[in-house]
Amino acid sequence: MLFQEEKETPRKSTRASLVASSLLKSILRGELAPGSKLNIDYLREVYQVSLSPMREAISRLVSTGLVEFEDQRGYRVAPVSLQLLAEVTRLRSDLESLALRYAIERADLEWESSVLGALHRLNRTERDVSSPEAMEVWESAHWSFHKTLIEGCGMEMLVEFCQNLQNQSDRYRRIFLKKPAGSADIQDEHNAIANAAVDRNADLASKLLRAHIERTGNDLARQISGELPED
Amino acid sequence: MLFQEEKETPRKSTRASLVASSLLKSILRGELAPGSKLNIDYLREVYQVSLSPMREAISRLVSTGLVEFEDQRGYRVAPVSLQLLAEVTRLRSDLESLALRYAIERADLEWESSVLGALHRLNRTERDVSSPEAMEVWESAHWSFHKTLIEGCGMEMLVEFCQNLQNQSDRYRRIFLKKPAGSADIQDEHNAIANAAVDRNADLASKLLRAHIERTGNDLARQISGELPED
DNA sequence: CGCTTGCCTATAATCGATTATTGCTGCACA
DNA sequence: TGTGCAGCAATAATCGATTATAGGCAAGCG
């Protein structure tokens, strides 16, 4: 063949996959209330699929921690609480900074470049808190930056766990944070983290990342504490 | 029907659950080879269940990391490699010691008692390397001890992740370690960890736990390195 | 001969019907 | 008036049949 068609393996999605990702979004957006039962017949109707793919889709989300399951009782959306949010924030702080340390340890040009690339994209994405659509784009770039940082550790299991924690965190933000509380120095924080990372200053980078995550988490918790019972 | 057939197993579990736990054991024992495809029709035959619970059972194991899934390609047993083992060992070391630190931080009498209880049971369980059955019992007590230590952290997500890592580790041991390599001072190690824990000496306890996990993991890796390609 | 292309089989995915279990409701009874 | 149990929905779980897809094989074409 003259020029090798670069097929990205656009593997055709199954219904179960499509429903699963759609359902994930619904849960993250809080459209399916925390703690509520996932009635399969109802969801079947909503997504217009049969029982098998519906069950399969739901069951896949169990591994993300956003759905819980009990024999003969079915599935329900994971509950929320200030305590759980604190747990998520602490683990994000511990694990993302851990992953970043490993990433810096085995850093190569490739990784450094992706980090600076992701940073640039994030900085060039406007954070217009008045536009939900724009915020979606910004949040996506934001997580991309974080993910790029930690993916350098080369440990899939760790990255996946961080992804789950991020999803949890994201859910709290979407559900409870009506007014995006964006301090102006967010951008400075990201720049500082990225610089420390490519400078191979693990202690500093790790410290800054922790601070960044904990600040975000605490801001969120403070906003929520009025709306949610202490436990 | 006149004679309502009494179920021989008055269980609450569903077929899917039973099959899932049975399948998990099979994978841990290496009866289902790492990397091999999980042929649903075949497994259906083996476990004598229909397609739906079979799929459900398999799909639940995906969250443990012992089974991988791809759309239209089905399920397969997670592969093994020295590199992956190293990853598992490192994460176990990092995360169990992290959990232990948190546990010590919020330690109460209840936790201290369970730790010493689990330690006692472990010490009183004979480690007879010539008897597979005895070793099963010992391994169970061993993991119980570890789990008791880390459960004190009160973070379910972290404990569950540690459990997954432990399962992974366990699989390598069962598959590759034909001759249990038990140094005589294993018991001393456990005692030292437990003592440091109830003494609330987080630094020492954490250091000892790391050493314990890394020693085990490295012993295993050394034994394997002859059998497995470096990757 | 080598490459493409179109069956063909194995297997993954989906479906709708059926069975089992749970949890509620209302009636009998103390 | 409270308790317990039978019967009755609601819904979770399972089944076997059907449809869709992938990957191998062989015929057709260059």
Distance CA B80, CA B172 (A): 8
Residues in Cβ contact with B155 at an 8 Å cutoff, skipping those fewer than 6 apart: A87, A90, A91, B99, B102
Separation between Cα atoms, residue B110 and residue B189, nearest integer Å: 22
Helices of type H across A152-229 = 156-176, 186-198, 202-224
Which nucleotide is nearest to B39 if distance is taken from CA to C1'?
C11
Taking CA atoms, what residue in B is nearest to A15?
B71
Binning pLDDT at 50, 70 and 90, where does residue A13 land?
Answer: confident
pLDDT per position as a tens digit, A78-130: 999 999 999 999 999 999 999 999 999 999 999 999 999 999 999 999 998 88
Give the C-alpha separation, B29 to B31, whole Å: 5
The tokens describing B109, both together, are 């009498």
State residue B21's pLDDT score: 96
Is the pLDDT confidence value at A7 over 50? Answer: no
Region B182-192: mean pLDDT is 87
In angstroms, the CA A100 to CA A197 distance is: 8
Predicted pLDDT of residue B182: 66
Confidence of residue A36 (pLDDT cuts 50, 70, 90): very high
Q: Distances in Å between the alpha carbon of A24 and those of A37, A45, A165, B69?
A: 15, 17, 14, 18
As a whole number of angstroms, the distance between CA A205 and CA A96 comes to 11
Nucleotide nearest to B71 (CA to C1'): C12
Over residues B84-107, the mean pLDDT reads 97
Select from A55, A63, A90 the Cβ nearest to the Cβ of B63. Answer: A63
Average of per-residue pLDDT across B177-184: 72
Measured CA to C1', the nucleotide nearest A75 is D12
Q: How many angstroms separate the CA atoms of B139 and B145, rounded?
A: 10
pLDDT in tens, A168-199: 999 999 999 877 666 678 999 999 999 999 99
> Cβ neighbours of residue A48 under 8 Å, at least 6 residues apart?
none
For B15-74, the pLDDT digits (tens) are 999 999 999 999 999 999 999 999 999 999 999 999 999 999 999 999 999 999 999 999
Å between CA of B190 and C1' of C17: 56
Under a CB-based contact definition with an 8 Å cutoff, are residues A158 and A150 in contact?
A: yes
Q: What is the pLDDT of residue B9?
A: 33
Percentage of residues in chain A having pLDDT higher than 70 = 90
Window B:46-65, CB contacts with A under 8 Å: 52, 55-56, 59-60, 62-63, 65
**Average per-residue pLDDT for chain A:** 91
Torsion, Cα B191 B192 B193 B197, to 10 degrees, reads 100
Q: Interior CA angle at A26 toward A21 and A151, to 5°?
A: 50
Q: Is B70 in Cβ contact with A11 (below 8 Å)?
A: yes
pLDDT of B5: 37
Residues from chain B contacting residue A40 (CB–CB below 8 Å): none
**Shortest CA distance from B156: residue in chain A:** A87
Determine the distance from the C-alpha atom of residue A114 to the mean position of all C-alpha atoms in its chain, rounded to a whole number.
19
- The gap between the terminal CA atoms of chain A, to the nearest Å, is 63
Question: How far separated are the first and last CA of chain B, in Å rounded?
Answer: 61
CB of B54 closer than 8 Å to CB of B95: no
Residue B6, judged by CB atoms within 10 A of its CB (0-12, 13-18, 19+), counts as: exposed
**What pLDDT shows up at residue A161?**
98
Segment B162-176, tens digit of pLDDT: 999 999 999 999 999
Which tens digits make up the pLDDT trace of B106-129?
Answer: 999 999 999 999 999 999 999 988
Model confidence at B3: pLDDT above 60: no
A73 touches chain B (CB under 8 A): no
How far does the CA of B43 sit from the C1' of C8, in Å?
24
pTM of the model: 0.91
pLDDT (0 to 100) of residue A8: 39
pLDDT at B164: 98
Give pLDDT, residue B7.
Answer: 34
d(CA B161, CA A64): 11
**Please, which positions of strand D sit below 7 A from a protein CB?**
11-17, 21-23
Protein CA A70 to sugar C1' D7 (Å): 26
How many residue contacts between A and B have a Cβ separation below 8 Å?
A: 57
Which pLDDT score, from 0 to 100, does residue B179 have? 74
User: Whole-angstrom Cα distance, residue B154 to residue B119?
Assistant: 20
Number of CB atoms found within 10 A of residue A185's CB: 10
CA distance B154 to A133: 38
- Interface test with chain A among B105, B157, B167, B210, by most A beta carbons within 10 Å: B157
B22 touches A: beta carbon within 8 Å: no
Instruction: State residue A130's pLDDT score.
Output: 87
Residue % of chain B over a pLDDT of 70: 90
Return all residues near A160 (Cβ < 8 A) that are at least 6 apart.
none
- Give helix A82-105 / helix A132-151 axis angle, nearest 10°: 50
- Is A87:A217 a contact under the CB 8 Å cutoff? no
**Closest listed residue to residue B54, CA positions, set B42, B70, B68:** B42
